[in-house]
């Protein structure tokens, strides 16, 4: 059974007198523990799709199912609770609270949910080890590098063991080395924690860490192909670039 | 609960610490507002308690007091004391004759002190004529030297307050010379009393003499001013006392008034009303500024933390939780700010109490702040903080979670910014109409006045976002001429955040308005005061005495070489029937023709014809009302006022409105003839003297001093 399913999802926006069709009927499924990358040029609808998949917005038409729940039919409050318990977010700009330490930032979703962080000590230690920040746990964001801050953000997204982890251009604000570390971290969370991850990115190098790449253009899925994990990274990148050139040429 | 405390510790307190200066500035506003409110309340209560206690102390064990209901300067017949003393349930009736006079040696230097609270003289001494045997049953005089008054009812002896005697270098066994209507009279000082209990009367400038001596010296034979009553039952119940009061009142008739002694304190507290109104208005403004600072600080915080709130919404914080987060920050600020305000208020109350002591020239009780007052002030401070932060908190809750995903935070414009001008227009129009048309009675107008001003400012503030675009376009060419391209760019920036522009302009508007208002009020008041003082002491010489003077003294002064004209003036306290009851005011009586020869009228309406006013006053049955009374009670020329005369309430027509701040403006002016006819008074308090052009004022004054100074 898929963890996430988009069925004929459409999204229209009103811009003055005009209606803009951001998504024109998107269909796809994501299985548990899968690592999916969504790519496409600017204006292709990838950010809109991410908002809909994360329950931040509702589709004009179509259905989005997260586990057994219909995200598209939830009201604002239900969608908030669904995000709290089932979705982890990683942002391009980290979005950590500057007044909290790394550990407190990681525990923030549990604190918002009214849970006692002490009862999640074991899970915290495990995640801190995965993101390799055990020795930086008491540092505040301004005492951490960009890469470390993004690792804190990944840890924060993982702490609630969400059904899906959505990452919006997670390497967009990082240098290549830090970006690679983040993508490896997401890959590791898939392998070791069976975490389902969906990454929206422009970067073919980042997308190359995924098991499947979905290409969007003009609000529609125009290409979708799996990548074998046994294939070397450079070859995976070449394959993605080839598809991108092919789509540009069409 | 634990989860909430955890959120407070991690999110609320950390956020406050991170923006400490901004929060400290906001808290300062609340501290100021709460402190002002508490201090003013406490000071008022302290003053009221002190005044009541003072009257209770000076009244001793007297349960009821009888005095003239018509404020008759001649008092009432002394038979009243004998009648009352023989009634069942009354064990003693102590007679009193009051006289305000001055020590004879100092009479020449007796000068008028003009102040906002009326006229006073520092050298006055209050003399009470008493029956020593009866009076000591009611009051505890603490003798510090000598003996009390003896049994001889006509003995020329006095017991003075020791502080007063020391100030005037008077010693036990010596003589105390005072001014009387018959000239200087001397009294032997047989005793000195402490300045406590009855010794506090007239701030200690006080002495007692036998009642018959007082009647003789001050031409009050057969008259008394007050009879204090001691009941057979030393501790009568309220019902018993009410019944006795009612039966006495019925027996004595409407010309005499039976009161509870401590009720006299209420009269004095009326004097503080204007001062209290001013302070209350100030505390209201302080609270408004505090609320404004808080709104501003939180509105800025919400804009600055848009992405942070977006992130919190994304990871599962509900709208209510985000709103609650801001309200928790405001609440924390309100709790501690109001607490600090209570502390500061207690200190401020001490300062204001000292100020009040100076105004009243009387020591007040030690400042005590009741817990309930502290709790109320603290609660109001907290509520105002939460209300002021309410709109930004609500806006924070409405921030879309997608803001967290944007590259730059976007500040949305709320309904108030987009459509608030409509509400602003309504508020502005309504408050302007209320302020100009002034349709409510004075009391309602005073209570709603602050709200109306608040509505005016709020309306003007809400209009700013709707009009800023027009203003900006209008001034842009000027900016371009003055500063070139950067001027044009800077001008356009004004429109980038209409909310920020609104707050800045509103802050400036409040500041400038307050400066203009304060300056306008001060200048207008000072101008009126100058005009009034110029007219009030319009004569060249102002001859007054601590005791009423016969009106023929005026004729004698007029005969002094160099004197051009003299006007006699008499002040008397009269009861005035208002819509809400009877109010005591001062009536200033003079001969209108004499008066205009010495000085001039200062009319509220400059178009008023003085000659017609003089004619109307001479015709009788007319008064001039002060501008204060006119504004307070909506009186205008042609209206009728009812004053209590010797034969009951009588109608007087308002001939004109004059600027007069004597007795805080609670004053009317009438003709000498009316005073004689309706109040049966024919003596003067003061003579205004006009010196002939070219004559030396000092020389004429010296002649008058020499001839009449000792009288």
SS (H, E, C) B292-321: HHHHHHHHHHHHHCHHHHHHHHHCCCCHHH
CA distance B409 to chain A (A): 11
pLDDT lower than 70: segments of chain B: 48, 51-60, 70-74, 105-123, 261-285, 356-367, 404-414, 438, 440-451, 453-454, 510, 513-540, 544-547, 661-664, 708-711
Q: What angle do CA B552, B558, B563 make, to 5 degrees?
A: 160
Judge: B316–A89 Cβ closer than 8 Å, yes or no. no
Please write down the long-range contacts of A215-218, taking CB distance under 8 Å and 24 or more positions apart. A215/A39, A215/A40, A215/A243, A215/A244, A215/A247, A216/A26, A216/A38, A216/A39, A216/A40, A216/A44, A216/A45, A216/A46, A216/A49, A217/A40, A217/A41, A217/A44, A217/A247, A218/A24, A218/A44, A218/A45
CA distance B14 to chain A (A): 6
**Please, which residues 183-242 of chain A have a Cβ atom closer than 8 Å to chain B?**
none
Interface test with A, best of B7, B313, B315, B408 (most A CBs within 10 A): B315
Give residue B110's pLDDT: 40
Give residue B282's pLDDT: 65
What is the full DSSP assignment across B461-511? HHHHHHHHHHHHHHHHHHHHHHHHHHHHHHHHHTTT-HHHHHHHHHHHHHH
Residues of B in contact with A89 (CB under 8 A): 311, 314-315, 404
Judge: B315–A51 Cβ closer than 8 Å, yes or no. no
**Is the interface score ipTM higher than 0.85?**
yes
> Over chain A, what is the mean pLDDT?
91
Q: Tokens standing for B315?
A: 């990871």
Find the residue in A nearest to B316 (Cα).
Answer: A84
Separation CA B264–CA B698 (nearest Å): 42
For chain A, say whether B17 makes contact (Cβ under 8 Å): yes
Judge: A112–B15 Cβ closer than 8 Å, yes or no. no
Tokens 């308002």 sit at which residue?
B654
Residues of A in contact with B400 (CB under 8 A): 56
Give residue B111's pLDDT: 40
Give residue A240's pLDDT: 92
Q: Measuring CA to CA, which residue among B404, B451, B408, B410 is closest to residue B427?
A: B451
Residues of A in contact with B312 (CB under 8 A): 112
Confidence of residue A192 (pLDDT cuts 50, 70, 90): confident
Q: Tokens standing for B429?
A: 């129009």
| Residue A187 near residue A209 (C-beta atoms within 8 A) | yes
CA distance B312 to chain A (A): 8
Q: Tokens standing for A18?
A: 């005009």
Judge: A83–B15 Cβ closer than 8 Å, yes or no. no
Separation CA B333–CA B30 (nearest Å): 9
For residue A68, CA distances in Å to A8, A49, A163 come to: 18, 19, 11
Of A57, A84, A99, the CB nearest to B316: A84
Give residue B294's pLDDT: 85
Give residue B220's pLDDT: 86
Give residue A182's pLDDT: 92
Please count the residues of chain B.
711
Query: What is the C-alpha end-to-end distance of chain B, expressed in Å?
Result: 82
| Residue A162 near residue A82 (C-beta atoms within 8 A) | no
What's the distance, CA B304 to chain centroid? 46
Q: Assign B190 to helix, strand or coil.
A: strand
SS (H, E, C) B33-66: HHHHHHHHHHHHHHHHHHHHHHHHHHHCCCCEEE
Give residue B292's pLDDT: 79
For chain B, say whether A42 makes contact (Cβ under 8 Å): no
User: Helix, strand, coil % (nearest 5) of chain B?
Assistant: 55, 20, 20
Separation CA A245–CA A242 (nearest Å): 5
Give residue A210's pLDDT: 94
A148 or B111, which is more confident: A148
Give residue B444's pLDDT: 56
B174: DSSP letter: S
Judge: B404–A99 Cβ closer than 8 Å, yes or no. no
What does residue A46 show for φ and ψ, rounded to 5 degrees?
A: -70, -40
Give residue A160's pLDDT: 92
**Please, which residues 386-445 of chain B have a Cβ atom closer than 8 Å to chain A?**
400-402, 404-405, 407
């Amino acid at each position: 059974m898929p963890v996430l399913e988009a069925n004929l999802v459409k999204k229209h926006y009103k811009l003055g007198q005009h209606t803009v069709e951001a998504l024109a009927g998107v269909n796809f499924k994501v299985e548990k523990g899968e690592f999916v990358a969504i790519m496409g040029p600017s204006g292709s609808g990838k950010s809109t799709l991410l908002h809909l998949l994360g329950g931040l917005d509702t589709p004009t038409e179509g259905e989005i199912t997260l586990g057994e729940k219909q995200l598209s039919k939830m009201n604002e409050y239900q969608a908030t609770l669904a995000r709290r318990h089932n979705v982890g977010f990683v942002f391009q700009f980290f979005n950590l609270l500057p007044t909290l330490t790394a550990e407190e930032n990681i525990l923030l979703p549990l604190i918002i949910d009214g849970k006692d962080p002490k009862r999640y000590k074991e899970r915290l230690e495990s995640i801190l080890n995965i993101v390799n920040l055990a020795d930086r746990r008491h540092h505040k964001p301004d005492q951490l590098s960009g890469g470390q801050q993004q690792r804190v953000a990944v840890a924060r997204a993982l702490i609630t063991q969400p059904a899906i982890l959505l990452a919006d251009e997670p390497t967009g604000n990082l240098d290549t080395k830090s970006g690679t570390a983040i993508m490896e971290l997401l890959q590791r969370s898939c392998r070791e924690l069976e975490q389902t991850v969906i990454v929206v990115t422009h970067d073919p190098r980042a997308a190359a860490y995924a098991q499947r790449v979905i290409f969007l253009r003009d609000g529609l899925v125009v290409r979708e192909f799996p990548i074998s994990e046994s294939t070397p990274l450079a070859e995976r990148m070449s394959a993605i670039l080839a598809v991108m050139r092919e789509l540009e040429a069409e | 609960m634990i989860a909430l405390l955890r959120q407070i510790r991690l999110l609320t307190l950390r956020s406050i610490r991170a923006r400490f200066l901004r929060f400290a500035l906001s808290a300062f506003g609340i501290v100021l507002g709460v402190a002002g409110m508490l201090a003013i309340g406490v000071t008022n209560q302290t003053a009221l308690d002190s005044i009541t206690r003072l009257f209770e102390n000076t009244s001793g064990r007297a349960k009821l007091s009888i005095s003239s209901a018509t404020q008759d300067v001649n008092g009432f017949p002394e038979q009243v004391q004998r009648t009352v003393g023989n009634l069942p349930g009354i064990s003693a009736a102590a007679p009193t004759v009051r006289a305000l006079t001055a020590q004879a040696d100092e009479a020449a230097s007796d000068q008028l002190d003009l102040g906002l609270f009326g006229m006073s003289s520092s050298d006055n001494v209050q003399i009470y004529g008493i029956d020593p045997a009866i009076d000591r049953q009611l009051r505890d005089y603490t003798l510090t030297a000598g003996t009390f008054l003896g049994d001889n009812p006509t003995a020329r002896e006095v017991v003075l307050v020791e502080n007063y005697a020391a100030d005037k270098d008077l010693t036990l066994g010596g003589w105390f010379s005072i001014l009387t209507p018959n000239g200087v009279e001397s009294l032997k000082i047989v005793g000195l009393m402490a300045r406590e209990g009855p010794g506090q009367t007239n701030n200690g400038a006080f002495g007692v003499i036998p009642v018959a001596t007082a009647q003789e010296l001050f031409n009050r034979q057969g008259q008394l001013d007050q009879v204090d009553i001691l009941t057979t039952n030393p501790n009568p119940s309220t019902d018993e006392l009410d019944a006795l009061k009612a039966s006495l009142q019925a027996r004595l008739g409407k010309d005499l008034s039976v009161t509870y002694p401590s009720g006299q304190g209420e009269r004095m507290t009326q004097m503080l009303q204007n001062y209290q109104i001013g302070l209350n208005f100030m505390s209201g403004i302080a609270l408004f500024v505090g609320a404004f600072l808080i709104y501003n600080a939180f509105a800025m915080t919400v804009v600055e933390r848009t992405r942070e709130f977006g992130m919190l919404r994304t990871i599962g914080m509900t709208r209510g939780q985000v709103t609650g987060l801001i309200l928790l920050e405001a609440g924390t600020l309100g709790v501690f700010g109001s607490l600090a305000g209570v502390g500061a208020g207690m200190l401020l109350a001490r300062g204001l109490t000292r100020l009040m002591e100076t105004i009243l020239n009387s020591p007040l009780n030690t400042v005590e702040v009741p817990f309930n007052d502290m709790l109320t002030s603290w609660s109001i401070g907290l509520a105002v903080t939460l209300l002021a932060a309410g709109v930004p908190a609500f806006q924070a809750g409405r921030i879309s979670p997608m803001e967290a995903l944007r590259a730059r935070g976007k500040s949305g414009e709320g309904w108030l910014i987009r459509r608030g001008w409509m509400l602003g227009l309504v508020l502005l129009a309504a408050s302007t109409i209320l302020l100009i048309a002034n349709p409510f009675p004075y009391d309602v107008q005073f209570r709603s006045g602050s709200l109306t001003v608040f509505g005016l400012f709020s309306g003007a503030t809400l209009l700013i976002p709707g009009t800023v675009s027009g203003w900006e376009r209008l001034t842009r060419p000027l900016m371009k001429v003055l500063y070139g391209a950067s001027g044009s760019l800077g001008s356009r920036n004004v429109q980038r955040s209409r909310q920020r522009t609104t707050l800045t302009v509103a802050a400036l508007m409040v500041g400038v308005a307050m400066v203009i208002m304060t300056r306008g009020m001060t200048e207008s008041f000072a101008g009126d005061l100058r005009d009034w003082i110029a007219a009030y002491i319009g004569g060249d010489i102002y001859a007054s005495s601590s005791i009423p003077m016969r009106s023929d003294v005026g004729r004698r002064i007029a005969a002094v070489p160099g004197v051009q004209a003299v006007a006699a003036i008499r002040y008397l306290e009269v009861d005035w029937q208002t819509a809400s009851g009877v109010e005591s005011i001062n009536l200033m009586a003079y001969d209108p023709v004499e008066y205009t020869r010495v000085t001039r009228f200062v009319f509220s309406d400059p178009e008023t014809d003085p000659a017609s006013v003089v004619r109307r006053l001479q015709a009788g049955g007319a008064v001039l009302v002060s501008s204060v009374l006119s504004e307070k009670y909506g009186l205008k020329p042609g209206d009728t006022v009812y004053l209590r005369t010797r034969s009951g309430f009588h109608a007087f027509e308002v001939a004109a409105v004059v600027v007069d701040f004597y007795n805080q403006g609670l004053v009317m002016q009438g003709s000498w003839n009316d005073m004689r006819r309706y109040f049966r008074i024919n003596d003067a308090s003061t003579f205004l003297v006009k010196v002939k052009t070219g004559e030396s004022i000092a020389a004429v004054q010296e002649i008058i001093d020499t001839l009449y100074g000792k009288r």
